Amino acid sequence: MSQLIVSGMRPTGKLHLGHYLGVIQNWVELQHKYDSYFFVADWHALTTKYDKTDELKADVLNVAMDWLAAGIDPNISTVYVQSYVPEIAELNVYLGMVTPQNWVERDPTLKDMAKILRTKEGQNSQISYGLMGYPVLMSADILMMNADAVPVGVDQVAHIEITRDIARRFNNIYNTDFFHEPQPILNHCSLICGLDGNKMGKSFHNDIKISDTEEVTAKKIMTAITDRSRMRKTDLGHPDECEVAFKYWKIFGSEDQVATVKCECENGERGCADCKRQLGAVINERLSEIREKRVYYETHIDEVKDILSEGNKKARKRASEVLATVRDLVRMY
């Protein structure tokens, strides 16, 4: 029997290339090696946007469409919506009972989220009980499927550590070895910065979305930061100091293309505008098949809903089996 992995993503709108390169691309590969469960974390979206839910349903569907278009195969992976597996909420209660307060407070992601919240709403803004419990709910997501491993980036390893701690504590308290202590599977995919050189993100208005058209992508690429020292096409360039465009070339271009761009730039034979126009064409070519599939799902939304419905059923079946054992171990009535 193959090992089981689980991972999720908050629905915050249409996904961008950072999501694709840093997460989804890895999932697509892993789904052929593991029994894979991927969920849209709509409850987690409420931790910071509980008062901004007008687009939540649409965001859930947008995330699902981006996943499917990018290669997540519902025939071999279980794709589901977190809130449609209510067993997670019950498990969250049991795990919350055995989790010390200081474990939650030291979670680095919680600290980051609280910092972002206070930056947006002021230093006196209150952290909700739901946000404070984020690390436990995240652990419930993982332990609900009793996963063997979780694909994450290096910056998310702390997530897995608290989950392992909670699983170990539960097992010790109830004298069992039921819960696995999940291992992280580190993503070794390319990371991509935003068009301004900072972290790519929707709220920073510096992203290229998976679902962007060729025209929009080409226009956005023309705003990418290049070598700030160059004023004219004939100026000798410094590709390694090109803040964004050359980094994109190394991700999306072939070895020959990257070598050509580097040589022509260094010799003053390639202007930045022409370089970015060519780069836009290369990125559009790379994403063309994904975008065709994305358009298909946009016009077959009922098919997407059916996929989620089937995934929800499969996830609930697994969750019900795990929860039955947990209730028995806790000695619930």
**The token pair that represents 205 in the structure block:** 């208005």
Question: How many Cβ atoms from other residues are within 10 Å of residue 158's Cβ?
Answer: 17
pLDDT, average across residues 235-264 = 93
What is d(CA 315, CA 327) in angstroms, rounded to the nearest whole number? 18
Question: What is the sign of the dihedral through the CA atoms of 203, 133, 39 and 173?
Answer: positive
Model confidence band, residue 1 (pLDDT cutoffs 50, 70, 90):
low
Tens-place pLDDT, residues 38-79: 999 999 999 888 999 999 999 999 999 999 999 999 999 999
Please tell me the predicted confidence (pLDDT) of residue 109. Answer: 77
Model confidence band, residue 36 (pLDDT cutoffs 50, 70, 90):
very high
Tens-place pLDDT, residues 122-152: 666 778 899 999 999 999 999 999 999 999 8
DSSP state of 149: E
Tens-place pLDDT, residues 162-214: 999 999 999 999 999 999 999 999 887 667 999 999 989 888 899 999 999 99
Question: How many Cβ atoms from other residues are within 10 Å of residue 304's Cβ?
Answer: 21
pLDDT, average across residues 81-93 = 98
Among 301, 297, 318, CA closest to 39: 318
Name the 3-class secondary structure at 26.
helix
Please tell me the predicted confidence (pLDDT) of residue 106. Answer: 87
Check: CB of residue 264 under 8 Å from CB of residue 301: no
Please tell me the predicted confidence (pLDDT) of residue 65. Answer: 98
Check: CB of residue 134 under 8 Å from CB of residue 140: no
Residue 148 buriedness (CB in 10 A; 0-12 / 13-18 / 19+): middle
pLDDT-above-90 percentage for the chain: 79
DSSP state of 37: E
Tens-place pLDDT, residues 94-122: 999 999 999 998 888 787 777 777 776 66
Among 54, 44, 24, 19, CA closest to 36: 24
* Higher per-residue pLDDT: 109 or 232: 232
What is d(CA 130, CA 89) in angstroms, rounded to the nearest whole number? 12
Please tell me the predicted confidence (pLDDT) of residue 114. Answer: 75
pLDDT-above-70 percentage for the chain: 97
Averaged confidence pLDDT in the chain: 93
Report the largest interatomic distance among the alpha carbons of the chain, rounded to a whole angstrom. Answer: 79
